[in-house]
Amino acid sequence: MSEDAEATEEPEVQSDSDEISASDKQEGMKSRFKLIEGEEVLLTKQPSGVGFLNMYVLGLLVFGVHIIFWKPDMLISEDSGGVAKAIVWLMELGGSALPFGFVIVMGTITWFNRMLNTSTSGRWVTVWLLVATLLPVLIQIDGLIALIRELFSDSDVDRFLGFDYNFLIAGIALSVSFWGLVFYYQRSFDYAITSNAVIFKHAFLLSRAHRRILFDRISEVQVERTPSGTIMGYATVTILTDSGVGIVEESVGGSVGISPNVSSNDNDGNVEKAGKSIIRSFFALLFYQRTVRTVRPDPKHCFYKIRGWEDTKTLLNEMHNKHSQSTKLDNLADILTQQEGQD
């Protein structure tokens, strides 16, 4: 008798445990997506890691540039032509004291990446590339300042930092930090389809965004599959609304992104004015970004490069049909017809 009682009690304990677990999960979802009372999460998605492969390749490119500047002699041999020697000469411009050749190469990469207007052309990526571009100069200029101080001092002057820029170590550190930021950036997007709306959440560094789109506001659901997405099994599902949510329109022209606040004063001499003009021109050229008239998904307002996109599209269409005004009118008409038949 007791054994049968214990056997029948076990499923009840398991059932209570499942209910508690489901309740905790729902509370976690409520806090995660800021749900309203009675709202349930039907589906959650995040971008696929392979969708950001081009960003990881960019980090690998920066590492490759550091390796080349670490051992520039690997590019030339006895049979090397004038082009290879010219490249090496450019790389060694400024020497180890102030590596202006490195600044020119990295600055060119930063500029082209900004001009391409791809997923790697974001502002935070450009700022990181700019830091990687100017870092060796900022470190090596410490030695130059110490050298100038020694000319006017009777004793030896120690450098503030006390070390030189090592291209190998810096290349590893910068690339690993960039890959970490890319992974964090990928995980900063959070998407959900609930019983009431579609939710897009974004939290990266100091940037925060949260958007709810009701199903009856949806006018169209688009699916974009690039060749790489077709091969690797991901796609972008974009929700279009009458207000234009979900797409980014870029007009033809040019715009300057970030520029230093370098203002000219009346007391500045010709040399100071020329120096400030060069600094403003350098940053303006570096952050200049061409724009084209196109429509492309915004990761903050679409299901960006997700796996399982078929289920997402199907559920969106079903929920849109369920909450659409035409469906509600049809249901109301059916109710009225039934009431007339009963009368």
Residues facing 235 on adjacent strands: 306
Please give the tally of structural domains in the chain: 1
Look up residue 180 and give its amino acid.
G
Asked if the structure places residue 313 within a domain, the reply is no
Asked if the structure places residue 145 within a domain, the reply is yes
Residue pLDDT tens, the chain, 343 long: 455 544 444 445 455 555 667 677 777 888 888 888 888 899 999 999 888 999 999 999 999 999 888 877 766 665 655 665 666 666 666 555 567 888 888 999 999 998 887 778 888 999 999 999 988 888 877 666 666 665 666 655 565 566 678 889 999 999 999 999 999 999 999 999 999 999 999 999 888 899 999 988 888 888 999 898 899 999 999 988 876 665 555 544 444 444 555 566 666 666 666 766 777 776 666 665 554 445 567 888 899 999 999 999 999 998 888 877 655 555 555 555 666 656 5
Asked if the structure places residue 63 within a domain, the reply is yes
Q: At CA 305, angle to CA 228 and CA 226, rounded to 5?
A: 30
pTM of the model: 0.69
Domain assignment of residue 97, given as a range: 49-187
d(CA 131, CA 161): 18
Asked if the structure places residue 169 within a domain, the reply is yes
* CA nearest neighbour of 308 among 236, 200, 210: 236
d(CA 82, CA 86): 6
d(CA 309, CA 305): 9
Instruction: Read off the DSSP letter of residue 324.
Output: S
Packing angle of the helix pair 123-151, 270-287 (nearest 10 deg)? 150
Which tokens is 36 given?
A: 């309203």
d(CA 224, CA 230): 10
* CA nearest neighbour of 127 among 238, 303, 283: 283
Asked if the structure places residue 174 within a domain, the reply is yes
Asked if the structure places residue 148 within a domain, the reply is yes
Asked if the structure places residue 68 within a domain, the reply is yes
d(CA 315, CA 303): 13
Look up residue 296 and give its amino acid.
R
Asked if the structure places residue 1 within a domain, the reply is no
CA distances from 50 to 54, 148, 185, 246 (A): 9, 50, 13, 22
d(CA 62, CA 292): 27
